[in-house]
Chains A and B, each alone.
Chain A
Amino acid sequence: MTTTEITYVGSPIDRVDGLEKVTGRARYASEHNPRDLTYAAPVQATIARGEVKGMDAGAALKVPGMIAVIWHGNAPRLAPSDAAELSVLQSPRVAYRGQYVAVAIAETLEAAREAAALLRVEYSEEAHDVELRADHPRLYRPDHVNPRLPADDVRGDPDAALASAPVVVDATYTTPAEHNNPMEPHATVAEWDGGGLTVHDSTQGPTALRGQLAPLFGMPPEQVRIISPHVGGGFGSKGLAHPHVVLAALAAKQVGRPVKLTVTRREMFAVTGYRTPTIQRVRLGAEEDGRLIAISHEACEQSSTIAEFAEQTTVATRMMYAAPHRRTTHRLVRLDVPTPSWMRAPGEAPGMFALESAMDELAVACGVDPVELRVRNEPATDPDTGLPFSSRNLVACLREGARRFGWDARDPRPGVRRRGGLLYGTGVASSTYPAYRSPSQASARAEPDGTFTVRIAAADLGTGARTVLTQIAADTLRAPAERVRVEIGDSALPQASIAGGSMGTASWGTAVVRACEALVRELERTGGVVPPGGAEASAATAEEVRGQEKYARHAFGAQFAEVAVDADTGETRVTRLLGVFAAGRIVNPKTARSQFVGGMTMGLSMALFEESVMDARFGDYLNNDLAQYHIAANADVRDIEAFWVEEDDPHLNPMGTKGIGEIGIVGTAAAVANAVHHATGIRVRDLPIRLDRLVR
């Protein structure tokens, strides 16, 4: 066995699949073209609630190259399931505008689309309700919020404490519905073969997708194979199975040929999830010096009538700051809307916009510097669980960020920095994200030629997962990284948790380390000689993860923004954005910086641009393309820097890592909104901060 002095973990090595990607050799789901391939074009409901009464496929079936039209009237039956969203074409009910009601299959994509456009669907329409309101009569308290946390949590007597607090901030913040727009569209190529199903898909979790898909077709998971070697962005929208995957598999079963279904950008706005809009009331009660006495954070959010997706909007507020009295609640209303799902930092991103804006309002009300205010409210142990933090370096991030940003020279007065026609201001906000870990399995294999193969059904969404797992494996095997091949993105590999919750590296890395350690032990037994047939070992981490010590594990960060607001037009540009994060050990500074900067860019985009506009009369999101749904363009992203503080936390996992995929988007919008207030004196509590909120 080869030994080497290099430690890869901590090195900014290039992506192991970089060359493959930039030369176009990396194949994504929809680039898979099996023999006899057919193409699917789904038909989406044009009513928000009601029933499909009939289908006139006459004209559609005459399109040359047309193979079949499938709707609930002729669709193969799926096994009964609680996952109503995935029971596609099983019932005539329409739960939201844009839901799949039929699919056209043809020899070419063009023919399928033309046929889909010619299908005449007859509906009986019912009155619908798609408007989230804080006074909606059907708001209710869900049993729990994601991921199985209590919906409400009350400590002390927040109402009494607020009533007697010397300083009180009471404000309502709103965030709009937002849609993930990964560059690679959601796409599925489904193929049946001898009773088994093979699916090339763009997914964040091959194992999880297999687990969702197999029971619908009444099969054991082993009979379904999900292949997804490369994913061009997901941000949560490829984390759970969405209806198009089932639709493709169902269609392939019906026509007896492979089916390709690529979700268009427009379709995506109804069927692949989105961030729920929120209405959040935050009340903070504090002493004159800014020390918190009470925090109340109450959120209203929506889900569809067919699935309860209860986002954890106020959960971060349970552990951010010390306060003897605290209330955090969630109220949900089930509307005739598409089903929301995960979008980068679900819960934390909108929730921390509200909390961190309110903290800025409190800083202004108390005349305390916003950095200092946060430092003053730093808890000694987790205010939620009472457990010690495995590590908590929020204060270090705030201080380091303030130093790098030049915060100390800041004049707190709003609206006084005018240069040319521009008003300048700066703002700060805290970031946080939990450090989760999930059970996973991995195998490691040594060949006589000195190479190694590590296998795990992980997913690389462009984050660099394949690269960091290679680094982790190479270090554990004490082998050069060039000799280590990591295979991921296939449900036939040892099962793994999804790329979500910022827990990929922690979860998969643990399994990879354990499998590689087992292999090293195996090779030690054979005296370092790899037998002619190779040597292999595997590991499963369920026990290790379940048995871990009790700590509150969270990553923290601080973000500083400078904005320039055009005094005449209200146009806001973020001229500087600087983040400092404490997220455990950084495995690869190059890919990590991309994650932080990417998250912050998406946060900037959330602050200034992103909003899915619902038309209540029709019940769908109107701005369903990239010309209308604005995400930050290059010209909006000027000067973004991400740094991290050293954090040596022994209570996490063998690598000492916390997740970094989501924390970058948490707090950014508040930092920008706080900077806008500093620039203009106008407090914008409703995202996005578009010019119409500022022009006077």
Chain B
Amino acid sequence: MRPFAYERPADVRSAVATLGAGTDAMYLGGGTNLVDLMRLGVAEPGTLVDVTRVTPAAIEETPDGGLLIGAGVRNGDLAAHPLVRRRYPVLAQAVLSGASGQIRNMATVGGNLLQRTRCSYFQDVTKPCNKRSPGSGCPARTGDHRNLAIFGHSESCVATHPSDMAVALAALGAVVHVEGPGGARTVPMPGLHRLPGEDPSRDTVLEPGDLITAVEVPALPLAARSRYRKARDRASFSFAVVSVAAVLELDGERRVRDCRIAFGAVAHVPWRAGSAEAALRGAPATVEEFARAADAEVRGARPLPLNAFKVPLAHNLLVRVLADLAETS
């Protein structure tokens, strides 16, 4: 591992200033992803700027009834928070389904959003990878991509974003608060993560030095009826093969009044299922309609040779989750 300096700035402004000044400094959250990547030689920061003490570690109610979640909140605390559990079960379930108890206790909200792909070529510096080493090629496309993208991939990269939490946040329409060298701004979700296109080295729209300070989840009363379901290779401690976050509201005639749907582990971004949502609004809450909506979404999939199974999997998961939500409505 390359030697590095460690800094613990006193506040957000000095954190941002440190990163702006240093050429190869990086923010450090819980370190559960970054430190691994440093050991592997994938990340080689000269300086680590520990932001766990400068980004808020509290969850506050916003005046309109939403929540402002500090970027320093640990994943475990987020999932356990009573208001999160009551108002946004999908978020609590998503976070709880990820990693292990120990990792969730270390991992921060900011770090979770910005964790890197689990593509194995990306993690091995002896192999080419456009994301790690732009222009070197994408061996996953013609190699092992069983758990990589079926939506929105490009010639240069077929990676997926591995976060469970981000899928729930994308379904809920969260807003990311960012403090950058040029001041504060907000970035909506979906919209934080970007498709790989020709430049897979960038996972998100953030600019160098941008610090995530908080994530705001809007008031969304219908989210009280929401669910996260993750299909995975073993019962715990494994990344999603496909996951779905869904919010469903029915009217008095058991028609879909409103819904929010996002898939995980199918794209370089948490995949907001706009086609499925459009097909569902106003439709009767029946399994047939749910299947039609799922069809509308997966029609756009472009699976690779080894991950075609993700298409029926995404379809079935969505139908199941919607049916379960409808049943309890």
Q: Which residues of A are in contact with B by a Cβ distance under 8 Å?
A: 46, 110, 113-114, 117, 421, 566, 568-571, 573, 608-609, 613, 615, 617-618, 622-623, 627-628, 630, 632-636, 690-692, 695-696
Contacts and interface: CB of A to CB of B under 8 A. Distances in A.
B1 A113 contact: yes
Given A609-B234, A691-B231, A691-B233, A627 B118 contact: yes
A569 B314 CA distance: 9
Given A113-B1, A691-B241, A569 B313 contact: yes
B320 A690 contact: no
Given A627-B239, A635-B235, 15 more contacts: A117-B2, A568-B316, A569-B316, A569-B317, A569-B320, A570-B313, A617-B139, A622-B121, A622-B143, A623-B120, A633-B234, A636-B235, A692-B313, A695-B309, A695-B313
Contacts of B121: 622
Contacts of A633: 234-238
B302 interface: no
B8 interface: no
Interface in B121-154: 121, 124, 126-127, 139, 142-144, 146
A608 B236 CA distance: 13
Interface string B204-240: 0000000000000000000000000001111111110
Contacts of A630: 233-234, 238
| Nearest 8 interchain pairs by C-beta | A635-B235, A568-B316, A635-B236, A692-B309, A569-B231, A46-B126, A622-B120, A636-B235
B312 A114 contact: no
A114 B235 contact: no
A615 B143 contact: yes
A117 B44 CA distance: 12
Contacts of B241: 691-692
Contacts of B41: 117
B252 interface: no
B1 A114 contact: yes
A692 B146 contact: yes
Contacts of B238: 627, 630, 633
B3 interface: yes
B319 interface: yes
B75 to A, nearest CB: 16
Looking at A627, A633, A691, A695, the one whose CB has the most chain B CB atoms below 10 A away is A695
A608 B316 contact: no
Nearest to B41: A117
26 contacts: A46-B126, A114-B1, A421-B320, A568-B319, A568-B320, A569-B231, A569-B316, A608-B234, A609-B234, A615-B144, A618-B127, A622-B121, A622-B124, A623-B120, A627-B238, A627-B239, A634-B236, A635-B234, A635-B236, A636-B236, A690-B233, A692-B146, A692-B313, A695-B309, A695-B312, A695-B313
A573 B121 CA distance: 29
A114 B3 contact: yes
Nearest to B235: A635
Contacts of B239: 627
B85 to A, nearest CB: 21
A344 B2 CA distance: 38
Given A617-B143, A692-B309, A695-B309, A609 B235 contact: no
A301 B9 CA distance: 57
A622 B320 CA distance: 33
B120 A628 contact: yes
A573 B126 CA distance: 36
Contacts of A692: 146, 241, 309, 313
Contact of B2 (A114, A636, A696): A114
Nearest to B231: A569
Nearest to A628: B120
A292 B234 CA distance: 37
B193 to A, nearest CB: 21
A568 B317 contact: yes
Contacts of B309: 691-692, 695
Contacts of A570: 313
Interface string B110-122: 0000000010110
B274 to A, nearest CB: 23
A650 B143 CA distance: 56
Contact of A571 (B120, B144, B232, B312): B232
Given A613-B144, A617-B139, A691-B241, A628 B234 contact: no
A609 B234 CA distance: 7
Contacts of B2: 114, 117
Nearest to A694: B309
B128 to A, nearest CB: 10
Contacts of B233: 609, 630, 690-691
Contacts of A634: 236
Contacts of A617: 139, 142-143
Nearest to B315: A568
Nearest to A625: B123
B307 to A, nearest CB: 8
A573 B235 contact: yes
Contacts of A573: 235
A609 B233 CA distance: 7
Looking at A113, A568, A571, the one whose CB has the most chain B CB atoms below 10 A away is A568
A114 B4 CA distance: 12
A570 B142 CA distance: 25
A46 B127 CA distance: 9
Contacts of B143: 615, 617, 622
A613 B320 CA distance: 31
Nearest to B316: A568
B231 A571 contact: yes
Nearest to B311: A695
B231 to A, nearest CB: 4
A70 B126 CA distance: 21
Nearest to A622: B120
A175 B143 CA distance: 20
A623 B233 CA distance: 14
A632 B120 CA distance: 20
A696 B312 contact: yes
A615 B139 contact: yes
A601 B128 CA distance: 37
Contacts of B317: 568-569
Looking at A421, A569, A691, the one whose CB has the most chain B CB atoms below 10 A away is A569
A634 B231 CA distance: 17
A692 B1 CA distance: 37
B167 to A, nearest CB: 16
Contacts of A690: 233
Given A615-B144, A695-B309, A632 B316 contact: no
Nearest to A621: B120
Contacts of B3: 110, 114
A690 B319 CA distance: 21
Contacts of B144: 613, 615, 622
Given A113-B1, A617-B139, A622-B120, A691 B234 contact: no
Contacts of A114: 1-3
A568 B313 CA distance: 7
A110 B319 CA distance: 51
A99 B227 CA distance: 47
A321 B237 CA distance: 41
Nearest to A631: B234
A613 B147 CA distance: 13
A31 B12 CA distance: 42
A621 to B, nearest CB: 10
Interface in B282-327: 309, 312-313, 316-317, 319-320
B35 to A, nearest CB: 13
A613 B2 CA distance: 29
Contacts of A117: 1-2, 41
A38 to B, nearest CB: 18
A459 B142 CA distance: 45
A615 B237 CA distance: 24
Contacts of B231: 566, 569, 571, 691
Contacts of A696: 312
A628 B118 contact: yes
